[in-house]
Chain A
Amino acid sequence: MDAETMKTLAAAIAIGLGAIGPAIGIGMIGAKAVEAIGRNPEAAGKIQGPMILTAAFAEAVAIYALVIALIVKFV
């Protein structure tokens, strides 16, 4: 296995595994938010704000993994 192959593999595994956690996390955030809206439809606007914020936090971790994959592949 030469360096180029390992680099490609490493980049693929980095982003592949790194996206599992945030995907599950954002799914759970969305599920709880939708359940809360279903319970109290009038509070939909107030629930939406923290939901977007928390989803951005969770997604940031996926972005960290993506940046590492990009660094491995292109630097």
Chain B
Amino acid sequence: MEISLAAEKIAHIGSLPITNSMFTSWIATILLVVFAICATRKMTLIPKGAQKVMEFIVESLLGLVNSVFNDMKQTKRYFPFLATIFLFIITNNWLGLFPGVGSIGFHEIDNGKELFVPLLRGGNADLNTTLGLAILTMLLVQIFGMIAIGFFKYVGRFVNFKSPIDFFVGILEIIGEFSRVISFSFRLFGNIFAGEVLLAVITWLLPYVGPVPFYFLEIFVGFIQALVFTMLAMVFIKMAITDHSEHEEAAAH
């Protein structure tokens, strides 16, 4: 059984290698864009078709984001980014479960031995994708914090000369921000890649029948991981935009 931790390269554009996960992410992006275009083409007051589904998705996500921020203005400000993260991750995860992903491949490269290179692989089963999402999220959290409470107040959370204890807490906060990048990326990568390995092993052990309950599990895990990524991003944004110096925030998440 061939299980490759790193996503396999299937093509090159110039000197940039294209991996199968990247290709699947493109397909997911195209699917989302086409769905969005279909849903907003001829919008009616009483929705039908794709618009109905899109309204359901947007309403649920708006409720979810609002439950954390509790302020409609802030919710609308951060909603586009958070909803995009959620939809991108869940589409990538569920696309990785489609028949054909991981099994259809045409390269049988000879690098001293025969290797089967699948053409498609779950988008988040590649550490590059999840690392990119994690870095983007944490960068945006910093930027949102700086925009919301001002640059110096926000940096004052990390570089704090009021007392020795506050100084060390500031250093720990900086380390904390980096550790969140690692934790975001590895949580998503580990869950999705482990799911793929699990499905491959169970299919090998008990073909046709064995994977069925595990597919249910993977559908659920794909949804939960998207939800957890989004909820954690929301919590970090909320922590970044609250003004700690006023000691007003009562509910610390």
A residues whose Cβ falls under 8 Å from a Cβ of B = 49, 52-53, 56, 59-60, 63-64, 66-67, 70-71, 74-75
Contact = CB atoms under 8 A, between A and B. Distances in A.
- Chain A contact residues: helix, strand, loop or mixed: helix
Nearest to A46: B67
A53 B187 contact: no
Contacts of B190: 60, 63-64, 66-67
Contact of A63 (B4, B187, B231, B232): B187
Nearest to A74: B5
B228 A63 contact: no
Interface in B156-203: 183, 186-187, 189-191, 193-194, 197
6 contacts: A64-B186, A67-B190, A70-B5, A70-B193, A71-B5, A75-B5
A56 B186 contact: no
Interface of B: 3-5, 67, 183, 186-187, 189-191, 193-194, 197, 224, 227-228, 231-232, 235
Contacts of B187: 56, 59-60, 63
**Nearest 6 interchain pairs by C-beta:** A63-B190, A56-B228, A60-B187, A74-B5, A67-B190, A66-B190
A75 B227 CA distance: 31
A4 B228 CA distance: 37
B40 to A, nearest CB: 30
Contacts of B194: 63, 66, 70
Task: Please indicate which of the listed interface residues B4, B228, B232, B235 has the most CB atoms of chain A within 10 Å of its own CB.
Answer: B228
A52 B5 CA distance: 28
A71 B232 CA distance: 26
Contact of B186 (A49, A53, A63): A63
A56 B4 contact: no
B5 A63 contact: no
Given A52-B231, A60-B187, A64-B190, 9 more contacts: A49-B231, A53-B232, A53-B235, A56-B224, A56-B231, A60-B186, A60-B190, A67-B186, A74-B5
